[in-house]
Amino acid sequence: MSAAGRPLLPWAHRSGAYALPTSLVVRLKLGEVPEGIPAVMDVRRGAQEAAGASGHGAFDRVTATFGTAVKISRLHAAGRALRTIGARHVGYSEAEQVSGVARMLRIDVAPGTHVGSMAISLMQLDLVESAIPNYVATVGLDGPVLPPMPGQGDDEDEGGWAARDLVNARRALAYSAGQSGVVVGVVDSGLALAHPEFEARLRRGVDTVELGRGDLAGGIKLLGDNSGADTDPSDRYVGHGTGCAAIIGGQGRGIPPGIGGQCSLIPVRSLGAALFPGRETPLGVGALSDLDMGLVLAVQLGAQVVNCSFGTDDEALEPGAPKPHSEAVAFAEARGCTLVVASGNSGDQRTYWPAADPRVIAVGSVGLDRQVSTFSTTGDHVALCAPGERIRTAGLGEGYQHATGTSFAAPFVTGAAALLIERAQARAAALDPAQIKSLLMASATPHRAGVADGNGTGVLDAARALELLDAAIDADDTTEFGGADDG
């Protein structure tokens, strides 16, 4: 194990980052993917066999030098062919091609293959745009355990309203109640689907987890369903996705109503569950390929906002390696989908992906006193902050929990983005992701004096964001916030 408690692997030359030992993710240049390579979803279902070669001589010669048989499949299905079992690799859209989504391959290899070196070798080929090991992200209820606020126990937090009032949630929901036609994706550990907070809120979701058996280091115990692809995104062990989703779209049964109002939720389970040595509670564990699949599927299924409370540490990557999730982010942007991402819980200035991508909204955490949380990851890429300490939200089964971490700050911003979309639609105005980000940053309550740079423009004010949107529409400010075009 590394000093940080992470398993050291032979291909992790720099930092001890963990990756699945038998797969890597490769993006080919436009026009270079042979048409016959099937989609991962069809391979997992048994509707197609993975290709044994790429059809490119140079590519196949490189993989052959590692003395391994390969299985090649397209990581993403074509959106228009999601229901065409056995032919999900047919009919990619222009957005899917240009963003790179249609050109992503998952390469599965035999145990013992040096996947890091294979990725480096493939990167030397002119037809390859990127190649990286299939890194693993871990999340849980992963913020530090905090003592109760002075004079305030966990059962004395005003029923969970204190955090919501900090971001003006009551006034925002009075201003705009949201509506079910606004769809929010939650790419995470799945949801407790039968929880009362989600009654009449959920659209059909998906499960993209493919960790298999024996793919993780010794001592790590996988729990529940960690293989295959299906439409059961149930969260039975972790509670991470359940907590995030209830902040966005909860019914308000045992907690305040979700800040996204009446929005609909698409649960996407892209993080499996595992027990790590020395931990008593499970963590969410997700391969890069599974997280990318989940993010792209959420967009293909109609999400207008997606909450992403996961990330990969830039220091875990090889120097000069391609950055994870870039194709999925590009595709979301092309489809007008806003991505909201937790900044991380490192407590220092650090770069996580996709939080550091300028096309997303990276969110840090503050406490009820509006002080930046000691665990919140900082950096110039952080757009704004939201409450992330002891947030009362839904838990596993039909229970509730108090959750801490930037994972639970991000959903406040996700819900506010959903309200902005609903308000713009009600006024026949259009908003793109960049405009939503600009509105949220401009309307944030400035940080308290003494807060260091790298924590964004301030603390989310959902009501003020709606007011700024209305003011921009009233002024017909088409340049800034997408008002109607007089033509």
111-165 confidence digits (pLDDT tens): 889 999 999 999 999 999 999 999 888 765 455 555 555 544 444 467 899 999 9
Same domain, 23 and 121: yes
Average pLDDT over residues 304-327: 87
Residues contacting residue 152 through CB under 8 Å, at least 6 positions apart: none
Determine the 3-state secondary structure of 107 from DSSP.
Answer: strand
Among the listed residues 375, 379, 381, the one whose alpha carbon sits nearest the alpha carbon of residue 349: 379
Answer yes or no: pTM beyond 0.95.
no
Q: Which DSSP symbol is given to 2?
A: -
Residues facing residue 25 across a β-bridge? 106, 132
Residue 301 lies in a domain: yes
pLDDT of 317: 80
- Are 224 and 265 found together in one domain? yes
Task: Mark whether 214 and 297 lie in a shared domain.
Answer: yes
Task: Please give the structure tokens belonging to residue 279.
Answer: 């931990």
| Residue 290 DSSP SS3 | helix
Q: With respect to residue 11, please indicate whether it lies within any of the assigned structural domains.
A: no
> Is residue 164 located within the same domain as residue 307?
yes
Examine the domain organization and report whether 116 and 44 are in the same domain. yes
Residue 158 and residue 129 share a domain: no
- For 88, the domain range is 19-135
**CATH at 390:** 3.40.50.200
- How would residue 15 be classed by pLDDT, with cut points 50, 70 and 90? very low
The larger pLDDT score, comparing residue 439 to residue 217, is at 439
Task: Please report the beta strands in 343-470, taking only residues with DSSP state E, as ranges in sequence order.
Answer: 352-353, 361-366, 382-387, 391-394, 400-403
Residue 310 and residue 389 in one domain: yes
CATH code for position 116: 3.30.70
* Structural domain total, the chain: 2
Other CB atoms within a 10 A radius of the CB of residue 154 amount to 11
Q: Above pLDDT 90, what percent of the chain?
A: 74
Select from 69, 103, 135 the last residue of a domain. 135
